[in-house]
Structure 1
């Protein structure tokens, strides 16, 4: 963890550079081939069983949705499989959004993508979405969770809903690559960001140097209080024994003393 303070704008800019630099590693590989082949088929979705079940309960037919932190757009595009229409994906990495546009063309989708910092969205960004989606890893890139949820809430119409599917913060206490992976390595109450200078990949395999990035471990209370202060009403919270991040974390699955590894939250914006 870093002991030196870092300003929000500095962290956001650094993370943007790190993601842009890493984008090339997410293309022209086996996963990219799966995506291009998949989106050529109607009804293709990259969501796992947990997120699929959650979204099916939303009854999204004909609704407008927004995904914050959409990366290469694979999940924003997958919302069409649930009947959602004209969804928007927001991400600050222009390089990943280039990949999103390629997948959009293959899918023949009417989704749109916006390259922007969620803390400073451009004038004219629509604010009447029926639902919003946040998935794995997005919250940990956010230096200020309170301001983040306020920005998300402003994207929703009154009565709009938000679903979060994230890594459980308890998992952030452990280091799966260590000699003692089941011994807590970090405090649950860590305040400073972890600073990495390696390329960002989903499987954690890349060892190439990259611009520094800042990863924040937020407590569950940070998530809940951030939502509450943003005017969101929490209607569901579920913890899961499976991981939704790098495969190295699978070492914590199927244990006799099982850790919570991921969670889903459903919240709604109060109706006027």
Structure 2
């Protein structure tokens, strides 16, 4: 099971510079406009509420654009990721954007070992949980990081979406991948990246896992957190099913045909009991 970290890290290390240079992450917008926020964070502004002054950590932060966005909302953020190359890009982007954010390299399961103190906010964004083999261990890690009264905030691709087959020759939505967490990973060997299908890389093998929505909620509750919000959405911030989706603005995509058939993403919030 340790091999998955090396394989996946090599994949992200190789792709991070391309991601930072792409239009997808809007790095120049962050640099030129001190009020600019990522589409992912902007989508959830009504749910985030006032986070000014909170001590927060962004787990699996990649190149840090969501981390910078949360910092711009007034939170005192730290970013954590297992990819050293991604964090090099994150530090450069934060410095260019005028954000004072420490970035720490670590496997997410070891976050408690490398981060000092407790946090008022643990944030996890799109496309993070699928790289983790054990959702219960993740939830215990989150709980260990939170101060009493602290909050978990996650927006993630819906497990139904992750289970859907991509690149079909027709307009059908077909579930072909596991919905529930499995002991063994799904192993993929795919070139390119979500910002450019034509880019060429050498580290293309990844190990990934899906986690059912019930498994995620149960893991959060079993870790001692109180669920305070769960909302499913009819859009996703990239063209997750190529050829089947339309751009609806704000960086969001949804099924062209009857989007109400499919939960695209969800936002989950939970609180650690205790004094605020």
When structure 1 is superposed on structure 2, of 103-112 and 242-251 the one drifting more is 242-251
Shift of 1:206: 4.2
8 Å CA contact retained: 2:61, 2:81: yes
Matches within 5 A, 1:107-122: 107-121=97-111
CA distance in 1, matches of 2:181, 2:151: 30
CA distance in 2, matches of 1:15, 1:116: 13
Kept in 2: contact 1:11–1:143 (CA 8 A):
no
Report the CA distance between 1:247 and its aligned residue: 4.6
2:157 aligns to what? 167
2:67 is matched with 76
Q: Structure 1's 53 and 45: CA in aligned 2 closer, same or farther, altered over 3 A? A: same
Q: Which residue of 2 aligns with 1:234?
A: 227
How far off is 1:122 after superposition?
Answer: 6.9
**What is the deviation of 1:248?**
3.4
Q: Which residue of 2 aligns with 1:266?
A: 269
CA distance in 1 between partners of 2:163 and 2:131 (Å): 17
State the distance in 1 between where 2:159 and 2:226 align: 21
Q: How does 1:161-240 map to 2 (within 5 A)?
A: 161-180=151-170, 181-189=172-180, 191=182, 192-199=184-191, 201-203=193-195, 205-206=197-198, 208=200, 209-240=202-233
RMSD: 2.2
Q: Give the distance between the partners of 2:192 and 2:116, measured in 1 at CA.
A: 30
Match of 2:39 in 1: 47
Q: Which residue of 2 aligns with 1:16?
A: 9
Alpha-carbon distance between aligned partners in 2 of 1:199 and 1:233, rounded to the nearest angstrom: 40
Cα distance per residue 1:111-169 (max 9 Å; x no partner): 11001111123745123111011111100000111111111211111110011101111
User: Residue 42 of structure 1: CA displacement?
Assistant: 1.6
Point out where structure 1 has 5 or more consecutive residues left out of the alignment: 1-6
The total of aligned residue pairs comes to 261
Q: Provide closer, same or farther for how the CA distance between residues 24 and 223 of structure 1 changes in structure 2, counting only shifts above 3 A.
A: same
- Confirm whether residue 139 of structure 1 aligns to residue 129 of structure 2: yes
Instruction: Look up the match of 1:4.
Output: none
Aligned to 1:61: 52
